[in-house]
Amino acid sequence: MPILDTPFAQLDLLRQPHQPNEPLQAFDAADEYLLKHLHEQGLGASDAVLLLNDGFGALACSLAGQCRLTSSGDSHLGRIALDNNLARNGLASDAVTFVPASDTPQGPFDWVLIRVPKTLALLEEQLIRLHGQLAPGARVVAGAMVKHLPRAAGDLLERYIGPVQASLALKKARLLLATPEPKAAPASPYPTRYRLDNPAIELLNHANLFCREGLDIGTRAFLPHLPRHLGRLRVADLGCGNGVLGIAYALHSPQAELCLVDESYMAVQSAKDNWRAALGERPVEIRAGDGLAEQPAESLDLVLCNPPFHQQQVVGDFLAWRMFQQARAALVKGGELWIVGNRHLGYHAKLGRLFRGVEQVAATPKFVVLKAVK
């Protein structure tokens, strides 16, 4: 594996979830550029540093023990990677304070280092929450690979922080250096809301939610075909997002015991809010997790899933395949996994390698709804 070699540390880092012969590394030139800039500017042991969206912990592990360090992001997989990489490199687990993106990090901070996220709404919400959290003379620096750095990122930094200067590109990475200036407390446009007709519910969506302004077309194709049961089935909404699949199922299955799980803290926060609005105090488990990795074997009767096809900027079916494996392990014999997916992804064949029976429940020109039986 490539070693991250910076002025602060030499580190052996792994991505999460780890896969054998991993073709991608857990850091990139933007991480190196941010650390190089911080070293050149000077970092004191008493400085309070906030890291935002530090993918797999490359920045946090590099700075662990060098300053007072807080890391905040929306990925539970990212948090697991941070913990694993601290341990892998012999660093203290308490060297970094982690704050889920659903909460607000508490400053004041002398430095804020930002990895520009794929979802600019998340960046906007994070910048809004920095109001009142910056120390006098604080410096805010955002970094990204040039191909993943939209002009709008600089516009957001200027609107919420202050004047922005772009660095020269280095190894296809660029920094945006923002100079904080006094600004009125901003009002956040998040969370957003939209209504559904069937089921008749309103859904709240925090900033990092996929399809924040309206129901995504895959879920729209899935909803009319959700199974309905009257018994006390144990059901998981895997990769629950705002909770719509689990909530819709629960509304038609009053005795079912639901578990909603997602790796996004903002998704979990949204699902909790939406469950309470639709189902009140009905018991439910809603948690951030690495899919069903922590679910006891053979403890579920049904899994509902609209699987993701990307992790951060990386597109592929690795996460979906892993979720299918987790679902199979968690299901009882005869239990069912119901999914929706793009036709071209060939999930029917993939599920056939794991389950004894796979059938197509419904189809649109773009999507298929599949049922796999263990």
- Specify if 250 maps to a domain: yes
Q: How confident is the model at residue 142, as a pLDDT? A: 98
Would you state the pLDDT for residue 313?
Answer: 46
Tell whether 99 and 197 lie within a shared domain: no
Report strand pairing: 300-305 vs 331-342.
Answer: parallel
Residues 286 and 313 in one domain: yes
Same domain, 135 and 243: no
Evaluate whether 140 touches 180 at the Cβ level (below 8 Å).
Answer: yes
Q: Do you find a cis peptide bond into 191, omega within 30 degrees of 0?
A: yes
Query: From CA 145, how far away is CA 52, in angstroms rounded?
Result: 16
User: What's the confidence (pLDDT) of residue 229?
Assistant: 87
Looking at residue 133, what is its pLDDT? 97
| pLDDT of res. 311 | 46
Q: Residue 185: inside a domain, yes or no?
A: no
* 346 and 226 together in one domain: yes
- CATH number of the domain residue 159 falls in: 3.40.50.150
Residue 187 domain-assigned (yes or no): no
In a domain, 205, yes or no: yes
- Total domains present in the chain: 2
Q: Assess whether 171 and 61 both reside in one domain.
A: yes
Same domain (yes/no): 152, 7 = yes
Q: Which residue has the tokens 């403890």?
A: 299
Q: Which one of 136, 155, 178 terminates a domain?
A: 178
Whole-structure pTM value: 0.95
- The Cα angle at residue 366 between residues 364 and 370, in degrees rounded to 5: 65
Q: Please give the structure tokens belonging to residue 170.
A: 């280095």
- Token pair, residue 350, equals 């993939």
Q: Is residue 361 part of a domain?
A: yes
Same domain for 56 and 201: no
Range of the domain at 310: 192-373
| Domain final residue pick, 178, 202, 235 | 178
Q: Which residues in the chain land under pLDDT 70? A: 1, 22, 309-317
- Quick one: 202 and 113 in the same domain? no
Residue 183 lies in a domain: no
Quick check: is 286 in a domain? Answer: yes
Same domain, 156 and 292: no
Domain assignment of residue 186, yes or no? no
Residue 10 and residue 78 in one domain: yes
In SS3 terms, the chain reads as CCEEECCCCEEECCCCCCCCCCCCCCCCHHHHHHHHHHHHHCCCCCCEEEEECCCCCHHHHHHCCCCEEEEEECEHHHHHHHHHHHHHCCCCHHHCEEEECCCCCCCCEEEEEEECCCCHHHHHHHHHHCCCCEEEEEEEEEEEEHHHCCHHHHHHHHHHCCCEEECCCECCEEEEEECCCCCCCCCCCCCEEEECCCCCCEEEECCCCCCCCCCCHHHHHHHHHCCCCCCCCEEEEECCCCCHHHHHHHHHCCCCEEEEEECEHHHHHHHHHHHHHHHCCCCCEEEECCCCCCCCCCCEEEEEECCCCEECCEECCHHHHHHHHHHHHHEEEEEEEEEEEEHHHCHHHHHHCCCCEEEEEEECCCEEEEEEEC
CA distance linking residue 249 with residue 247, whole number of Å: 5
Q: State the virtual CA torsion across 18, 21, 23, 28 in degrees, nearest 10.
A: 60
- Calpha distance 72→104 (Å, rounded): 9
C-alpha gyration radius of the chain: 22
Among residues 115, 149, 178, which one ends one of the domains? Answer: 178
| Separation CA 171–CA 331 (nearest Å) | 47
